Structure 1
Amino acid sequence: MAAGFAKAGNQLYTGERAYPFIQKSNLWFLLAALAVLISIAVPFVRQGFNLGIEFTGGSQFTISQTEETDIALGEEVVAEVSGQDATVTNIAANTMRVQTEQLTDDETLEVAESLQQAYGVTPDHVTSTFIGPTWGEQVSEQMMLGLVIFIILVALYMALYFRTWKMSLAAILGLGFVVITTAGIYSATGFEVTPSAIIGFLTILSYALYDTMVVFDKIRENVQSLRQQKDQTFTERVNLAVNQTLVRSINTSVVGILPVGSILFIGAWLLGAGTLRDISLALFVGVIVGTLATIFVQAPLYARTRRNDADIVAHTEEVLRLRAERGIGTVTFSGTPLDEQGRPVPFPPLPEPEPEDEEDAEALEIVITGFEPEGHTPDGGGAHPAGDDVRR
């Protein structure tokens, strides 16, 4: 299996095999737009996000050194005392956390006593605190400020590094797609939004940017020599770059999601370590969406912004004209011509130039036949040295 994957990677890099990422950009843009619209609509359908106590404020109880880790016990205690719903989490070994809306002083004392009895611990092992929403608001403000600064720095860096604002525009729009889609998935799953989740959102932007830089750097390398070759169009050169980096993007994504997936599925759901679910879900979804955004949104978007440039249009027309002269009708998505069986073949040579008049024909005949290599005699007595060519 590994050998087959390596062979496929080599075929993608050489252009022997290619997938039409750029050629089918209209389809990808339509699917991306639908994903964004659905992600925006989900919070309204579900009446917003499941904000944690850090953003909404409320009462929190921590039960330590308990042998009982049943979540239902904490939920029943809060419902009996205050009639409110509670969020109960096993945050560590023998430690439970119960979060509710703000309780009165009497309700707080009664809930603490009931939790002590339900989980079989002493009063010293049950602590209660009140968390106001102000801290969560400050976290949100800092997150938005950090996001704006991050986007500005990314745009400037990419514009200076790649020397084109169009790559910066494609990268920023792709990052927006990653954030909106990840937030929509987060809302759809009902996971609690905590400061850790916010950190996860900012982390996935860095990962998505890394993958984008790898692909865009290969695109720049392929496009730099665009005018020195007449075999591939601009679109085909960009598509070749995406295919050449496809295996690397997949490998990087798999390496990234394996440990995060272990935390999310094994640590959080199987072992009950709920404190890691919020950040691990953001990272897990963000890594996957970030990779898809680079391949299906950012690279096609950059190609779309440049395909109508005057130099790109002129080069594309010249490549297509030369293909018509060579009689090439079918090519791969990387620009390699195919034979009748669909196998890649080298480009046919250009036809020999024909003389325009008799004078040119005579001059051409002299050039072709008038040269006599060493060892050759007009009467045929000599012989051409091995490997010599009479057409000089």
Structure 2
Amino acid sequence: MFELMKADKTVDFMRWSKGAFVLSAIMIILAIGTVTTQKLNWGLDFTGGTLIEVGFEEPADLPKIRESLEAAGFGDAIVQNFGTARDVMVRLQPRENVKSEDLGNQIIAALKEGTGQTVEMRRIEFVGPNVGDELAEAGGLAILVSLLCILLYVSIRFEWRLAAGAVLALAHDVIITIGIFSFTQIEIDLTIVAALLTVVGYSLNDTIVVFDRIRENFLRMRREDATEVLNSSITQTLSRTLITSATTLFVVIALFLKGGSMIHGFATALLIGITVGTYSSIYVASALALKLGIKREHLMPTPVEKEGEEFDAMP
């Protein structure tokens, strides 16, 4: 009677699994295509160069600042507001045989002459190109190693079909998030790498909760087939998934709107990753496990022979 009542309230998620696979495939293809054609907008952490933060006495006129820097020979400078309208960040490509201090003084002089305002140096940072290459390699390896460790962990805890679904869902989330960053040309720095690893951990936690319920229901719902078990498991954990995602998104949206430019990319990556990760826990991880042929027999505990049983069975 209890299982019948539960079945009446079960949402048939797997009914839309084919459409979800098509949607995910399209998004992944578009993401890979965008990264291949437009490339990623690597930040100073990865490309190397000089970052200079300056403050103006009045709201800064960015077009005029760019013209001033171009006239002074800094046409490759990237200029953007940083925090308030009076704070400006200038990013420059690496320059050989030029000290950071001298470069900063040249920028300040060009801005004073071009804008006619009092300009205050707030911060100057330099990252060499070799360090940038090492950071890019280390960031990529960090994401790859995390996925491999997750594959090993889920394989030990569950079963390889569920493990494959979980890891492919995580890769799905990371690829789509990177694709959106490539399409929008949002600058990628170390905070974005941290956000991607955070997304991997968040999505995995959500997937593990669903998989735990799937394993329990396979052992409890002995008359239902795999599709019904997965639908029932996702339905039972749906409220938890939505509440967790909603409360997390409240914080992330607050960071996105009020956190400032320093963590804007971090908040953007989390905003995209949590949304995509909630979707992938249902329509990628679980649905892929079903496509790979997950059955009750695969999750049944291995019987352990008690000591002495083999002798009792002898004639």
**Structure 2 match to 1:120:** 117
Matched, 1:253 2:258: no
TM-score, length basis structure 2: 0.82
Secondary structure, counterpart of 2:24 in structure 1: helix
Does the Cα contact within 8 Å between 2:69 and 2:75 map onto a contact in 1? yes
> 1:66, CA displacement in angstroms?
4.2
Matched, 1:34 2:26: yes
**Structure 2 match to 1:303:** 290
> 1:64, CA displacement in angstroms?
3.9
Matched, 1:285 2:272: yes
Letter of the 2:18 counterpart: N
Does the Cα contact within 8 Å between 2:94 and 2:129 map onto a contact in 1? no
TM-score, length basis structure 1: 0.67
Matched, 1:138 2:171: no
Deviations 1:109-166 (A, max 9, x none): 43320224537335x636655432222222222223322332232122222222x111
**Distance in 1 separating the partners of 2:122 and 2:116:** 10
Structure 1: which 5+ runs fail to align? 1-12, 313-392
**Bigger Cα Rg:** 1
**Structure 2 match to 1:202:** 197
Which stretch of structure 1 is more off in the superposition, 232-241 or 55-64? Answer: 55-64
Q: Which has the higher helix share?
A: 2
Structure 2: which 5+ runs fail to align? 299-315
**Structure 2 match to 1:224:** 219
- The correspondence of residues 1-392 of structure 1 with structure 2, limited to 5 A, is 14-46=6-38, 48-64=39-55, 66-82=57-73, 84-92=75-83, 95-103=87-95, 105=98, 109-117=105-113, 118=115, 120-121=117-118, 125=121, 128-162=124-158, 164-227=159-222, 230=223, 232-264=224-256, 266-267=257-258, 273-307=260-294
**Structure 1 match to 2:307:** none
**Distance in 2 separating the partners of 1:258 and 1:82:** 45
Does the Cα contact within 8 Å between 1:112 and 1:128 map onto a contact in 2? no
Letter of the 1:26 counterpart: K
> 1:70, CA displacement in angstroms?
4.1
Letter of the 1:139 counterpart: L
Aligned-pair RMSD on alpha carbons? 2.6
**Distance in 2 separating the partners of 1:311 and 1:128:** 62
Structure-2 change in CA distance of 1:99 and 1:158 (3 Å): same
Work out the percentage of aligned pairs sharing the same amino acid.
Answer: 27
Deviations 1:335-385 (A, max 9, x none): xxxxxxxxxxxxxxxxxxxxxxxxxxxxxxxxxxxxxxxxxxxxxxxxxxx
Does the Cα contact within 8 Å between 2:108 and 2:121 map onto a contact in 1? no
Which stretch of structure 1 is more off in the superposition, 166-175 or 129-138? Answer: 129-138
Deviations 1:164-215 (A, max 9, x none): 1111111011111011011001111110011111111111100000110111
Secondary structure, counterpart of 1:192 in structure 2: coil
> 1:77, CA displacement in angstroms?
2.3
Deviations 1:258-284 (A, max 9, x none): 2211222x226xxxx322221111111
**Distance in 2 separating the partners of 1:76 and 1:70:** 10
Which stretch of structure 1 is more off in the superposition, 283-292 or 65-74? Answer: 65-74
Does the Cα contact within 8 Å between 1:84 and 1:101 map onto a contact in 2? no
Structure-2 change in CA distance of 1:76 and 1:126 (3 Å): farther
